[in-house]
């Protein structure tokens, strides 16, 4: 919060607020809507502060990308016993506060912001200028309706905009490094070959093991297949995987780096030694899009037409399953015939072969040479 010490707020001040919600990738995408808020502010002929509220450093990374535009990142703690990365800002319908301990931490966080003692009070006075994604039925319905449509309006940014009443302009999100790690710099400099940055999504926290149904499991690729792929290309590249949670599997000939925020990941992506990235459906592709970095993404129960970027090599065997793109199956998710979407075969991810991914790598390498000749990557 030190970067924003100059911001002084009173509870009755007028502000715009973008409250980031959902998983890490979802919240990275939502930073693109800052442009929409800047446009709204200009049309309203005011210069009220725009607050980007999150419990990671994303807000600060946005304000760093848009310096001198009165945009401020506000970092708050994660809620007690909440879903990961859930800010839990809203009070319950009856007016009670769901997590009074957490609300106290909100107040403590805002002691650095002048006389604001309660974020809820500040938001209440600026309700018409406060925006956040509503993960409700209407958004879920839109996602399912668009999962097989390869159209610009199918991208999640457009669907998020519909729920917030903000315009998605089709451009990438905006983040900038706020910290440089000397350890990461040394690691990059020590690489003798170009490297490929990976995020395989297998890291877990204790609460992940406790979940009866964990949707993350439905989009994993075989650890053995990752290992075979690395062996096939290790003569050309070093492979580096990033992870954030406590438990993460090791892969032969892959360097593992634990990160606690997005800065070291972005620092590695920005390096000229980083040839491309590889991941399943997670935040890495969205972070890479901020700097127009191409990569390979493996898709299964989630549609790349909704969540993917067209400049990547998106591998998706959409005919591998009758209920392809079931997205986040839960106990009560059923198809039209009453069959549960809780998967018992994982055929979508199992159908992706090492040979298929290898061909995507060769294709991407050719595209990267074309980009190099043109002098820029066009997204």
In this predicted model, what pLDDT tens digit does every residue of 252-280 receive, in sequence order?
Answer: 999 999 999 999 999 999 999 999 999 99
Tell me whether residue 318 is in a domain: yes
Q: What is the pLDDT of residue 208?
A: 66
Band (112; pLDDT cuts 50, 70, 90): low
SS3 273: coil
Spatial contact of 40 and 183, defined as CB atoms under 8 Å apart: no
Assess if residue 298 is contained within a domain: yes
d(CA 64, CA 68): 9
Residue 367 is predicted with a pLDDT of 94
Whether 271 is in a domain gets the answer yes
- Is the pLDDT score of 299 beyond 50? yes
The confidence band for 324, taking pLDDT boundaries of 50, 70 and 90, is confident
C-beta of residue 276 within 8 angstroms of C-beta of residue 285 = no
**Residue 293: Cβ-neighbour burial (10 angstroms; 0-12, 13-18, 19+):** buried
Query: Do 325 and 289 have their domain in common?
Result: yes
pLDDT band at 110 (very low <50, low <70, confident <90, very high): low
Give buried/exposed letters for 109-145 (b at 16+ CB in 10 A, else e): bbebbeebbebbebbebbeebbbbbeeeeebeebbee
Q: Give the rounded percent of residues in the chain with a pLDDT score beyond 90.
A: 60
Higher-scoring residue by pLDDT: 120, 172: 172
Residues 207 and 355 in one domain: yes
CB of 305 within 8 A of CB of 150? yes
Distances (CA, A) of 304 to 10, 299, 301, 309: 43, 7, 10, 7
Q: Say yes or no: 192 and 52 in one domain.
A: no
Mean pLDDT along residues 218-238: 95
Q: Note the pLDDT of residue 81.
A: 44
pLDDT for the residue numbered 309: 96
Each residue of 72-99: pLDDT tens digit?
Answer: 998 876 554 444 444 444 444 444 444 4
Q: Is the pLDDT of residue 216 over 80?
A: no
Q: What is the pLDDT of residue 304?
A: 96
Same-domain check for residues 91 and 223: no
Q: Which of 129, 164, 199 is the last residue of a domain?
A: 164
- Report residue 294's pLDDT band, with 50, 70 and 90 as the boundaries: very high
pLDDT reading at 10 higher than 50:
yes
Residues 263 and 367 in one domain: yes
> Does residue 195 carry a pLDDT above 80?
yes
Domain final residue, candidates 104, 135, 164:
164
**How many CA atoms, within 13 angstroms, populate the side-chain half-sphere of residue 320?**
21
> Mean pLDDT throughout 226-232?
98
The structure tokens 């050719």 sit at 366
Residue 36 has pLDDT above 90, yes or no: yes
Note whether residue 132 is domain-resident: yes
On whether residue 170 sits in a domain, the answer given is: no
Give me the CATH number covering residue 333: 3.40.50.2000
List Cβ neighbours of 18 (8 Å cut-off, separation of 6 or more): 30, 31, 33, 34, 37, 50, 51, 52, 53, 131, 132
Does residue 36 sit in the same domain as residue 159? Answer: yes
Mean pLDDT over 156-183 rounds to 94
Residue 5 has pLDDT above 60, yes or no: no
Same domain for 35 and 119: yes
pLDDT digits (tens, 9 = 90+) for 328-346: 666 566 766 777 777 778 8
Does one domain contain both 155 and 209?
A: no
**Total number of domains constituting the chain:** 2
Residues 229 and 353 in one domain: yes
Structural domain includes residue 211: yes
- Domain presence at residue 222: yes
Total count of residues recorded for the chain: 379
pLDDT at 321: 87
109: tokens are 């966080």
Residue 154 has pLDDT above 80, yes or no: yes
Does 230 score more than 90 pLDDT? yes
Of 164, 199, 214, which residue sits at a domain end? 164
To the nearest 10°, the Cα dihedral for 354, 358, 360, 364?
150
Decide if pLDDT at 378 tops 70: yes
Same domain, 215 and 152: no
The whole domain housing 89 covers: 12-164
Which of 37 and 341 is assigned the larger pLDDT?
37
- In the chain, the percentage of residues whose pLDDT exceeds 70 is 81
In a domain, 175, yes or no: no
Q: What confidence score (pLDDT) does residue 102 get? A: 40
Residue 119 sits in the same domain as residue 189: no
What mean pLDDT, rounded, does the chain reach? 85
Looking at the structure, tell me whether residues 47 and 80 fall in a common domain.
Answer: yes
Q: Longest C-alpha distance within the chain, in Å?
A: 62
């Amino acid at each position: 919060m030190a970067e924003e010490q100059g911001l002084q707020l009173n509870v009755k001040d007028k502000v715009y607020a973008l409250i980031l919600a959902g998983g890490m990738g979802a919240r990275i995408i939502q930073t693109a809507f800052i442009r929409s808020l800047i446009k709204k502010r200009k049309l309203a002929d005011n210069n009220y502060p725009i607050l980007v509220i999150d419990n990671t450093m994303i807000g600060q990374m946005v304000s760093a990308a848009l310096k001198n535009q009165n945009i401020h990142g506000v970092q708050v703690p994660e809620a007690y016993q909440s879903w990961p990365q859930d800010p839990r800002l809203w009070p319950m319908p009856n007016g009670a506060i769901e997590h009074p301990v957490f609300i106290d931490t909100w107040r403590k966080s805002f002691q650095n912001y002048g006389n604001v003692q309660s974020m809820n009070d500040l938001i209440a006075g600026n309700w018409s200028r406060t925006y956040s994604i509503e993960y409700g039925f209407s958004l879920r319905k839109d996602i399912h309706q668009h999962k097989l449509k390869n159209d610009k309006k199918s991208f999640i940014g457009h669907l998020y905009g519909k729920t917030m009443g903000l315009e998605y302009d089709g451009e990438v999100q905006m983040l900038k490094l706020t910290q440089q790690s000397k350890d990461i710099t040394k690691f990059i400099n020590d690489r003798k070959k170009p490297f490929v940055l990976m995020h395989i999504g297998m890291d877990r926290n204790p609460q992940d093991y406790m979940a009866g149904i964990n949707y993350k499991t439905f989009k994993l690729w075989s650890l053995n297949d990752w290992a075979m792929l690395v062996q096939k290309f290790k003569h050309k590249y070093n492979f580096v995987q990033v992870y954030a949670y406590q438990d993460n599997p090791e892969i032969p000939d892959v360097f593992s780096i634990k990160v606690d925020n997005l800065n070291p990941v972005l620092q590695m992506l920005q390096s000229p030694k980083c040839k491309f990235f590889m991941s399943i459906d997670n935040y890495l592709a969205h972070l890479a899009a901020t700097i127009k970095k191409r990569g390979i993404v493996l898709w299964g129960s989630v549609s790349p037409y909704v969540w993917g970027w067209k400049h990547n090599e998106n591998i998706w065997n959409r005919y591998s399953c009758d209920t392809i793109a079931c997205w986040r199956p839960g106990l009560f998710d059923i198809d039209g015939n009453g069959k549960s979407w809780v998967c018992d075969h994982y055929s979508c991810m199992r159908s992706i072969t090492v040979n298929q991914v290898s061909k995507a790598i060769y294709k991407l390498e050719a595209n990267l040479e074309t980009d190099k000749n043109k002098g820029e990557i066009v997204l």
